[in-house]
Amino acid sequence: MALSVEISAAAILRHVVARSHGRRLLYPDASSRAKVARRITECCRRHRLHCVVWCVTDRFLHLVVRGAPAKITLATDEIAGGRLRHGHFVSTKVNQDIYLLEVARHVLLAPVRGGLVRRAIDWPHSSARETLGLNPAPSWLDPTPLYDLLGPRDGQGASRFRRFMDSS
């Protein structure tokens, strides 16, 4: 698989999506979803990336990550590229504007829209609980770009993001 190379060292945001072909399952059970979640953690730490949001379902992997383009490319290939047997992945640049909020909402609501759970916070294979401020976020998960778009840094970013999520 060919890798795209972006030369800039400035941090960017990218939305990485791995998707299955047809009705085949990429991550058919909880253990395979947990395994890819650990891989996300390891790659973010090793490549010094900051994940904004992530979610893994049976047919999809969504990851919004911030960092140097070359490091994102390497991590994306490690997370999704070489291990996809029944699917493909794409990586799209995301500007830090209202589109980032919409992408984050799309990522976190994927299990709800797929009929897997009733609420995003009920899905164990995502960053919903941490992003919405219900659990403390690990060091590699940084939802502050979302919070910054919704108001000042006054400690209320998670509650504003919960209201944004509820407005869908």
Q: What is the arithmetic mean of pLDDT over 117-136?
A: 96
Kindly state the tokens that stand for 106.
Answer: 């799309």
Q: Are 9 and 84 in contact (CB under 8 A)?
A: no
Burial annotation 21-30 (CB, 10 A radius, 16+ → b, else e): eeeeebbeee
CB-based contact 126:55 (threshold 8 Å)? yes
Q: Are 58 and 27 in contact (CB under 8 A)?
A: yes
Q: What is the pLDDT of residue 76?
A: 86
In this structure, of 5-14, 30-39, 40-49, 138-147, the range with the lowest mean pLDDT score is 5-14
**Predicted confidence (pLDDT) per residue in 140-153, tens digit:** 999 999 999 999 98
**Which are the contacts of 135, defined by CB distance < 8 A and separation ≥ 6?**
129
Quick one: pLDDT at residue 82?
A: 56
Domain residue spans of the chain: 12-166
Query: What pLDDT, in 10s, does the model give residues 49-66?
Result: 999 999 999 989 999 999
Domain 12-166 of CATH type 3.40.50.720: no
- The reported pTM is 0.88
Answer for the pair 92, 49: CB distance below 8 angstroms, yes or no.
no
**Better-scored residue on pLDDT, 3 or 58:** 58
